[in-house]
Structure 1
Amino acid sequence: MDTIAQAARVALGHTDISVRPIGLGCMGMSQFYGDADERESVATVHAAIDAGIDHFDTSDIYGAASGVPSRNGFGHNEDLLGRAIGGRRDEVVLATKFGCRLHPDGGVTFDGRPEYVAEACEASLRRLGVDHVDLYYLHRVDPSVPVEDTVGAMADLVQAGKIRAIGLSNVQPDILRRAAAVTPISALQSEYSLWAREVEREVLPTCRELGITFVPYSPLGRAALAGRFTADSSFAGDDFRSTLPKFEAENFAHNLRLVEGLKDFADECGYRPGQVALAWLLAQPYAIAPIPGTKRAEYARQNAAATAVRLSADDVAFLADLFDPAQVRGGQYGKLNVRTS
C-alpha cells in the first residue's frame, strides 16, 4: 500500500514550500467540537507526524471564537500546537492565522490594520515557540481596511523573515485578485468537501488561474462524511455542529441518506468513507491540500492513509453526482456573533 510519505507533495503557490497531500487541522483540540483532552491532543499531533503528516493548521482565535462556549481562551490552540511540535519543528510546515479579535461583548471583530499585523504575528510566534511560521493567513478580511494594506503589511513580514508565505481565508475571487496584485498569495483556505462545493463555481478556477494552492477545511463535512453518525446523533451546546443548518434535524436526516451511498461505495472499495471523501478532493484538477481535523490519533492515521485510495474518473463523477449540490440540504453557517465595530 502506498503511504502518505510516498505521495507526491503539493507546492504552496509559487514558493519552494511543499506539503504532503493530507494535513491536520487543530481547531477542534481547543474548541468547537466539545471538550478535548490536551494530552490526547498532543499525542494526536505526534501520531500525525509519525504517520507522515507534515502540514499543521491553527489560528490565534481558536479557543476563544464566538458562537460556541470554550474554557480555553485566545491563543490556546497555538500554545497547544507549539508544545506538541517542540523538538520536531523541522518536521512540520506550520500554518496559523490572524485577523479575528475578541470584542468586549464576547463576540468577534475583524482587524486587518497594518500595525496589528506585526503585533499579531509576534504574539503567535511567542505562543508557538518558533522564530517563524511557514504560512500566515489573514483569517477574515476587515471590511474597514483595504485588503491591499493588510497583505502589504504581511509582505513586510516575509521580508523580515517572520513568515515564509501568505494566505487568505474565506474570500471571494475579487478580493483574492486584489490581494494577489500586491504580493504573491500562496494559499486560500475555505470549506470544501463532497457536501460543501460552493467554491467550485468561481473560487477554485481563480486559484488555478493565479497559481494559488487551495486548502480545504472541513473536508469531511465536520465528520459527517466519516460515516459514524446516524439520524439520532445529537450535538451538545458546546459543539459547533448544533448551530449549523446541515445538521438541523430534517436536513441532517436527509443528508445522511447521501452519506449512506458514500458508505456503500467505500465498502465496495475496501476503504473507509472518510478516506474516499478525501481521495475525491485529491482527485480534483487543482492544487489541493486538505486539512481534516481530529482530536484522536486513530483518525489522524486513517486520514493519512487516504492517499492510498485510487479513484477512477468514473468514481469521481459518481461521487460528485451522489452529492449533487442541489441534493444537499442546509447552508454553510448559522448565525455568527460578529461585530463590525
Structure 2
Amino acid sequence: MEMREIGKSGIRANALALGCWAIGGGEWWGTNDDEMSVKTILRGLDLGIHWIDTARVYGFGHSEEVIGQALKQTDRSRVILSTKCGLQWYDHGGEVHFTKEGNTVSRDLSPKAIRRDLELSLKALGTDYIDVYYTHWQCKTYGKVPVAETMGELLRMKEEGKIRAIGASNVDLKVLKDYVAAGELDVIQEKLSILDRKAETDLLPFCEANGITLQTYSPIEQGLLAGKAPDDYVPGKGEVREGKTWWKQENIRTANEMLAGWKDLTDKYRCSLANLCIKWNSMVSPKINVLCGARKLSQIEDTAKSMDIPMSKEDYLRMRRDADRAIGKQV
C-alpha cells in the first residue's frame, strides 16, 4: 500500500486509514459487536491499514475504549493513532453543538477543555501518547476561543511528548489559515467524495501549497456508493444518514443509476463499487489520506483492496464526468 507523509511531521502512513465512528455504536450507528470491532481493527493492521482514527465524542467514549482493547493485543508502535478534542458533554462550557442520548454536547476548544479531553482519551485508549491530535469542530462564533490559544495548548502537549502531530477537523479556509499562522499544523480532516467535492475548491489547494495532508472522510457517502441501498431506502430516525442530501430517495436513485454504469469498471478491475470510489478519492491529490469506516471483517478486507486497483487516468476522469452529471440532477 502506498505510503504518504502526514504533513511535515515525519510520520508516514498508508494512503488508507480506518475510521472508528461507527465502532462507537449508540443512536448514530446502532448496536455493535465490540469483539468483532476489535477483530476488525487488528485485521486492518495485518492488511496494512495502520492509521486508526477516532474521537472523544464517538459513542461518548466507547469508540476509544474499544480501540484501547485492540491496542492491548498488538504492539503500539504498529499503530498511527488519531483522536479528536473539543466536543464535550461534561459541563456547560462552550457553544451547544447537538443533543444526543440525553447528552448536550458543546464545542469548546479552550485550553482547559482540550487538555481534559486529552487526558481522558489517553486513559480510554490505554496509551501515553497520541500520534495525531485533531480539534474536532471549530467555534460557531469566530474567535470565541482564539485559534492561537487552542494552538498554544496543542504545542505544549507536543512539547510534553503527549501528541506527535496537530490536526484540525471541519475547518473553513479562514480558520485553516489561522491555524497555520499560529503554529505547526500537519493535517486537516474534511469530507470529500466523488459526489461531494467542495473541499477541492479551496481547502485542498491551500493544503497542497502548504504541505498539509487532507484526510478525507465519507468517501463512499456513508455506504451509498457501495451500491447496496435500494431506491426506496429511508434512513431511520436518529440514524447518521437521516437528513443527508444524498440519502433522499430521489438522490439515491440518481446515485444508483451512476453506479450501475460502472459495472464494466468493477469487472475490469475485479473490485467492488466501494473500492472504485475509495481509489478514486486517493487519486485526487498525493496530499490526500482516505478515511474509511469498517466494523466487520468483511468490510475491512474489502476496503483494503482499494489501494491495489491500477486505475487509469482515463477511468478516473470518466468517473468524475459521470459524477458531475449525477450532481447536476441532485435535488
Q: TM-score, normalised by structure 1?
A: 0.88
1:119 counterpart residue number: 116
1:98 counterpart residue number: 85
Partner in structure 2 of residue 249 of structure 1: 249
Contact 2:84 2:134 (8 Å CA) reproduced: yes
One-letter code aligned to 1:45: I
How far residue 329 of structure 1 moved from its aligned partner, in angstroms, is 2.3
Deviation at 1:50, TM superposition (A): 1.5
Instruction: Find out whether 1:43 has 2:30 as its counterpart.
Output: no
CA contact (8 A) 2:110 2:150 kept: yes
5 Å-filtered alignment, 1:136-215, equals 136-142=133-139, 143=141, 144-215=144-215
Give the structure 1 partner of residue 315 of structure 2. 315
- Show structure 1 runs of 5+ residues with no match: 1-6, 64-73, 331-341
Distance change in 2, residues 1:326/1:229 (3 Å)? closer
How far 1:238 moved relative to its partner?
4.4
Q: Distance in 2 between matches of 1:24 and 1:308?
A: 16
**Matched AA of 2:5:** A
Contact map agreement 2:2 2:307 (CA 8 A) in 1 = no
Residue aligning to 1:30: 24
In structure 2, do the counterparts of structure 1 residues 328 and 290 end up closer, same or farther at CA, with 3 Å as the change threshold? farther
Query: Does structure 2 retain, via aligned residues, the 8 Å contact 1:168–1:189?
Result: yes
Which residue number in structure 1 is paired with residue 328 of structure 2?
A: 327
Q: What's the secondary structure of 1:327's corresponding residue? A: helix
**Residue by residue, what CA displacement relative to the aligned partner does 1:188-236 show, whole Å, maximum 9, x if unpaired?**
1011111111101111001101110010111111111112222133432
Could you say what secondary structure the match of 2:132 adopts? strand
Counterpart check, 1:110 vs 2:110: no
Q: Please, which moves more after superposition, 168-177 or 102-111?
A: 102-111
Residues 294 and 300, structure 1, Cα contact 8 Å, conserved in 2: yes
Confirm or deny: 8 A CA contact 1:213 1:289 kept in the other structure.
yes
Shift of 1:43: 1.1
Distance in 2 between residues matched to 1:264 and 1:90, nearest whole Å: 41
Give, in whole Å, the separation in 1 of the partners of 2:86 and 2:264: 42
Deviation at 1:87, TM superposition (A): 3.5
Residue 95 of structure 2: aligned partner: none
User: Which consecutive segments of 4 or more residues in structure 1 shift more than 6 A?
Assistant: none
> Cα gap change, 1:268/1:27 in structure 2, threshold over 3 Å: closer, same or farther?
same
Single out whichever of 194-203 and 223-232 deviates more from structure 2: 223-232
Tell whether the 8 Å contact from 1:110 to 1:140 is kept in structure 2 after alignment.
Answer: yes
Structure 1 distance, partners of 2:151, 2:263, is: 42
The match for 1:3 is none
Overall identity of the aligned pairs, in %: 29
1:263 deviates by 4.0
The one-letter code of the counterpart of 2:165 is: A
Answering whether residue 82 of structure 2 is matched by residue 86 of structure 1, we say no
| Count of paired positions | 314
Distance (Å, rounded) in 2 between the aligned partners of 1:77 and 1:118: 19
**Aligned pairs for 1:241-320 within 5 A:** 241-320=241-320
Once structures 1 and 2 are overlaid, which stretch shifts more, 139-148 or 126-135?
139-148
User: What SS is found at the alignment partner of 1:292?
Assistant: strand
Distance in 1 separating the partners of 2:133 and 2:218:
19
Greater strand fraction, Structure 1 or Structure 2:
2
Query: Can you give the 5+ residue segments of structure 2 that lack an aligned partner in the other structure?
Result: 93-98
TM-score by length of 2: 0.90
User: Do the aligned residues in 2 keep the contact of 1:141 with 1:147 (CA within 8 Å)?
Assistant: no
Q: Distance in 1 between matches of 2:9 and 2:87?
A: 26
Greater CA deviation, 318-327 or 220-229?
318-327
Structure 2 distance, partners of 1:121, 1:141, is 17
